[in-house]
Amino acid sequence: MCGILAILGCHDKSVTRRHRCLELSRRLRHRGPDWSGLFVDEASGCYLAHERLAIIDPTSGDQPLFNENKDIVVAVNGEIYNHEALKASMKAHKYHTQSDCEVIAHLYEEIGEEVVEKLDGMFSFVLVDLRDKSFIAARDPLGITPLYLGWGNDGSVWFASEMKALKDDCERFESFPPGHMYSSKQGGLRRYYNPPWFNESIPAEPYDPLILRHAFEKSVIKRLMTDVPFGVLLSGGLDSSLVAAVAQRHLAGSTAAKQWGNKLHSFCVGLEGSPDLKAGREVADYIGTVHKEFHFTVQEGLDAISDVIYHIETYDVTTIRASTPMFLMSRKIKALGVKMVLSGEGSDEIFGGYLYFHKAPNKEEFHKETCRKLKALHLYDCLRANKSTSAWGLEARVPFLDRDFVNLAMSIDPAEKMINKKEGKIEKWIIRKAFDDEENPYLPKHILYRQKEQFSDGVGYSWIDGLKDHAASQVSDQMLANAKHIYPHNTPGTKEGYYYRMIFERCFPQESARLTVPGGPSVACSTAAAIAWDKAWANNLDPSGRAATGVHDSAYEGGEVESSAVSHKEGGEDGLANSKVGDKVQEAIAVA
């Protein structure tokens, strides 16, 4: 990942403004520690800063990037996987670098603002056309990469990868919506990503396991594009295990293997003796990765909370719970010299993997909820995966969120995705079945059909319990009773939520900052769906997967109630739920 900062239409052209731009860009340097670049055009009041994490063409791919005449300039955060195919489809251009992102400047020169619809990858970018002093900014279809939009009191428009670069200088700022482009010519935002599933119409395409398998394999393979050491995050759950198994199987035929060898490196984090550590090791031994386990203690996690909230820029309870071990693991991975990892985010949203989907009353409701989950993913798991890793200059790539794969998977008749005891279908059955190969198995059966467990639980159940206990020692009953007066917007309903909110407000006291975090009845779509499907959810809103009483094998009862929008946003990658899958899973399905 990289960090970008753009100030456009700025009337202050003094040396002080340049220095301020550099100062604000430094706040993003953790995202791109390899090089810093700044382009300034005084005539248009354009400042374009870039903090680079060098993944493709480390030696000459510094940004901002230009077309031949240098009258089109672009700063990009992300990866363009189809850059070679785009180059082949265009007229001949003189490229200054081998960077995958330079193609954006040349393609814009040919087709203008339609460039954004041709890109296959994860990206946020700002492009300035010096010929007419116009500019565009865009974010990838699902918001894998972060981007924020702000406005200065002098009429300037700002863009940044993280809001910490905007919070002190913009009168107002907000999250840039995924799948959108901002055009100075058109005077605002427009959505360019309009797949059939976006309007929540019910699809009817038949399920073909081989087509789904091949589409996912293609998604993983294209993400092996790298010029630096890389690996895979392997918790031992279904999603990360599939990513690792496919990557290991196809690594030998990739360009990456020519530089880094045929052995895939895998990484797992957890408390001593945690479910994920056990499961991750089992999967790694089976598929043959070079596996490394990282341990942390509850106290080490608690000590990191303030740093985590500063980096991930949210007070969402579940996101913080899952981000902390990922944040700690990313630091260890970077210390090994690795700069890119594959990760398993997105599967639960596409296939209805969260445990409350057991209660879905029909395929229409099931599908609409998966659509809503995908639309909100940039506020939760995408935010966590990107910012937890980027805090240490590590890039996370997410094959399940490949544009073509998502469009294919969301076109399948949702009746095939529903949990059905009579047919022996558990959650995410269609992706499990797609990789159930008897002749050349990708994974052992008991791993392929293991129950969903969220990342924040899988790293060790005492992690969440420790968080709650620590928050209770920091927040009094009286403080919580008066929470609505201190935090009238998205009022925290638990001591844990209150504790995170206090830290967030210290880092980001601006009203615009607190509004970037979803909450309240207007956005708690998952909570609304869960309650509509089963009234019991209304009184059991702890975001832990173990709170899914009657569904989760290790379900617990009681505990604090969390009333914020994070309720039932079971963030994070799968982990090991229970090695005794068989009857246990069937009992859970029977209850559902």
Helix axes 495-507, 317-335, angle to 10 degrees: 60
Q: How far is it, in rounded angstroms, from Cα 440 to Cα 443?
A: 9
Among the listed residues 144, 130, 131, 139, the one whose alpha carbon sits nearest the alpha carbon of residue 159: 139
Residues 59-88: tens digit of each pLDDT: 888 999 999 999 999 999 999 999 999 999
% of the chain with per-residue pLDDT over 90: 78
Model confidence over 250-298: pLDDT tens digits? 998 777 777 777 889 999 999 999 988 999 999 999 999 999 999 999 9
| Distances, alpha carbon 489 to alpha carbons 171, 174, 192, 201, 521, in Å | 19, 16, 31, 33, 11
- Structural domains present in the chain: 3-194 (3.60.20.10), 204-591 (3.40.50.620)
Which runs of E-coded beta strand occur in 102-167?
A: 121-129, 134-139, 148-151, 157-160
Distance between CA 404 and CA 398 in Å, rounded?
13
Please report the pLDDT score of residue 537 as a whole number: 65
Per the DSSP assignment, residues forming a β-bridge with 181 are 138, 190
CA distance 301 to 133: 48
For residue 536, which of 350, 337, 359, 296 has the smallest C-alpha distance?
359
- pLDDT tens, position by position, 418-439: 998 788 899 999 999 999 999 9
pLDDT value of position 52: 97
H/E segment holding residue 50: strand 46-52
| Residue 330, both tokens | 């990313």
| pLDDT, the chain, mean | 88
- To the question of whether residue 233 is assigned a binding role by annotation, the answer is yes
Residues 6+ apart with CB under 8 A from 488: none
| pLDDT tens readout for residues 546-575 | 455 455 555 544 333 333 322 223 334 333
Q: Give yes or no for residue 473 having a pLDDT over 90.
A: yes
Q: 35-41 and 134-139 as β-strands: parallel, antiparallel, unpaired? A: unpaired
Cβ 547 vs Cβ 555: under 8 Å: yes
Question: Residue 189 forms beta bridges with which residues?
Answer: 182
**One-letter amino acid identity for 137?**
A
- DSSP class of residue 188 equals E
CB atoms within 10 A of CB 425: 17
Does 344 show up as a binding residue in the annotation? Answer: yes
Q: What pLDDT, on a 0 to 100 scale, did the predictor assign at position 527?
A: 64
Tokens 């990342």 sit at which residue?
A: 455
Q: Which of 70-79, 194-203, 255-264, 362-371 has the weakest average pLDDT?
A: 255-264
- What radius of gyration do the chain's Cα atoms show? 23
- What's the CA dihedral at 165, 167, 173, 179 to 10 degrees? 30
Distances (CA, A) of 448 to 232, 426, 581: 18, 11, 10
| Residue pair 2/145 in contact by the 8 Å Cβ criterion | no
- Does 100 show up as a binding residue in the annotation? yes
The confidence band for 13, taking pLDDT boundaries of 50, 70 and 90, is confident
- What confidence category does residue 145 fall into, taking pLDDT thresholds of 50, 70 and 90? very high
Model pTM?
0.91
User: Averaged over 379-394, what is the pLDDT?
Assistant: 98
Q: Mean pLDDT throughout 477-494?
A: 96
Q: Catalytic pick from 2, 371, 382, 525?
A: 2
Q: How far apart (Å, rounded) are the C-alpha atoms in residues 356 and 529? A: 9
Give the residues across from 182 on adjacent strands. Answer: 137, 189
- Which helix (H) or strand (E) segment holds residue 76: the answer is strand 72-80
pLDDT tens digits for 126-142? 999 999 999 999 999 99
The residue count of the chain comes to: 592
- At 193, the amino acid letter reads Y
Q: Are 105 and 72 in contact (CB under 8 A)?
A: yes
Q: Specify the residue for token string 């265009």.
A: 90
Q: What region does 530 belong to: left with phi over 0, alpha with psi -120 to 50, or beta?
A: alpha
**Token code pair at residue 244:** 């690792």
Q: Could you give phi then psi for residue 160, rounded to 5 degrees?
A: -155, 150
Is the Cβ–Cβ distance between 407 and 197 less than 8 Å? yes
Using DSSP bridges, classify how beta strands 340-342 and 395-397 pair: parallel, antiparallel or unpaired.
parallel
To the question of whether residue 343 is assigned a binding role by annotation, the answer is yes
The annotation status of 28 as a binding-site residue, yes or no, is no
Least trusted range by pLDDT, from 183-197, 274-288, 575-589: 575-589
Q: Are 54 and 35 in contact (CB under 8 A)?
A: yes
pLDDT of residue 98: 93
pLDDT at 36: 97
- Burial class for 252, CB neighbours closer than 10 Å (0-12, 13-18, 19+): exposed
Half-sphere exposure of 451 (CA within 13 A, CB side): 29
> Band of the pLDDT at 539, cuts 50, 70, 90?
low
Residue 2 annotated among the catalytic residues of the structure: yes
Per-residue confidence at 460, pLDDT binned at 50, 70, 90? low
Which helix (H) or strand (E) is 511 found in, with range?
helix 511-515
Q: How far is CA 331 from the centre of its chain?
A: 18
- Phi then psi for residue 168, to 5 deg, are -95, -10
pLDDT tens for residues 505-522? 999 999 999 999 997 533
SS (H, E, C) 445-475: HHHHCCCCCCHHHHCCHHHHHHHHHHHHHHC
Q: Look at residue 540 in the predicted model and tell me its pLDDT.
A: 56
Handedness of CA 445, 451, 456, 460 (dihedral sign): negative
